[in-house]
Structures are given as structure tokens and as C-alpha cells.
Amino acid sequence: MKYLIVGLGNIGLEYDGTRHNIGFRVLDVLAKASNTAFEDRRYGFVAHMRVKNAELVLLKPSTYMNLSGNAVRYWLLQENIPVENMLVVVDDLSLPLGTIRIRQGGSDGGHNGLKHIAQILGGQGYNRLRFGIGNDFPRGSQVDFVLSGFCPEEEQIVNEKALVACDAIKAFALSGIQFAMCNYNNK
């Protein structure tokens, strides 16, 4: 079986290490653990890896967050992967730092990357792994917060939880969305 694992983020050094790029970060950890490198391809950076009998196509869109759906549609078609075999890794302001929440479908929660994917695919019926980035910011400072980095104490949590997210991605590919939800939500 083949799966598309999409990590949402923005390209460019100014976004590297920000909360909004947690999707890129999780995929980087997953690729590094498998000695897999990303290649600059059409609409994104792509890597291929295997987990037992599953082939994972890792995608970090280069379209910027608000146009992520273009890269998703292209790579689903290019690799001939059904949408139910896709998992989108995304930052989530409404979850405490490091909380992992896997869902089968659902709303975009105001996230522009998820909103564009739903618009391009024609619905919300795709899997997502939401990674909590916290919400400790003053009113009106949401954009500054999501585009900021993590403090040293938060970095430790993010590093630990990124490994858990990688295990959840593998569980999704090997055992399905229900298994991943039951075993990794709130870990």
C-alpha cells in the first residue's frame, strides 16, 4: 500500500523552526530516522520511504501554507494515492503544546492550509494529525505567535512529541486511521 504523508509549513529561512512549520518538522524527523532525503520536486519537497509493507511518500509543499491544496492534489494524482491513504500533519492552536490529535475528516478549524486542501479536494474528508502548538499569546497576536519559534523548554516537549507523531504516522500506514486514533490521541 502507498500513503501520502503531508507536512504543512512555509518554505524559507524566516519560517524555519516556527510553530506554523511543525508539519515540516515532523516529516524531517521521520525522514531522518529512515535515512531518507527530500528532493526538490514539483510543488514541494518529496521523499520516499518504506515502513514494513507500506510505501510512504512524504510531502512538504513549497506552495506556501495558503495554497497547500495545489501540492496535495498534484501528488495524490502523481502517485495514484486515494485520499483515504493521505494524512496531513498540521499545527493546531487550540491544542496544548505537544498534544497529538488524529482525526478522520473534520473541520479546518480556521487553518488556512487545511481550508485550501478542502477547497481543492472538494471536502473535509481526509485524515489529519493535529500537533498542538499552544495558545499562550495576547489577543490579536495570533499571527505573530504562530510565526514565532519555541522557547528552550518548549523545544524539549516538541522534540519528544515529534517522535510520538512519527510513530503515529507509521501506525496509520500499517494499521489504519482507527488504530492510530485509539493509540495515539492525547499521548
Dist. CA 156–CA 161, nearest whole Å: 9
Whole-prediction pTM = 0.95
Order of strands across the sheet that contains 54-61: 39-41, 44-51, 54-61, 2-7, 86-92, 127-132, 100-104
pLDDT tens digits, 92-122: 999 999 999 999 988 888 898 999 999 999 9
Distance between first and last Cα of the chain: 26
- Listed in sequence order, the DSSP H helices in the chain are 22-33, 68-78, 112-121, 142-146, 152-175, 177-184
Domains of the chain as residue ranges with CATH: 2-184 (3.40.50.1470)
Give the mean model confidence (pLDDT) for residues 75-95: 96
Cell representation of residue 126: 481526509
Q: Residues with catalytic annotation?
A: 20
In this model, does residue 187 exceed pLDDT 70? Answer: no
pLDDT tens digits, 22-51: 999 999 999 999 999 999 999 999 999 999
Buried b (16+ CB within 10 A) or exposed e, 175-185: eebeebbeebe
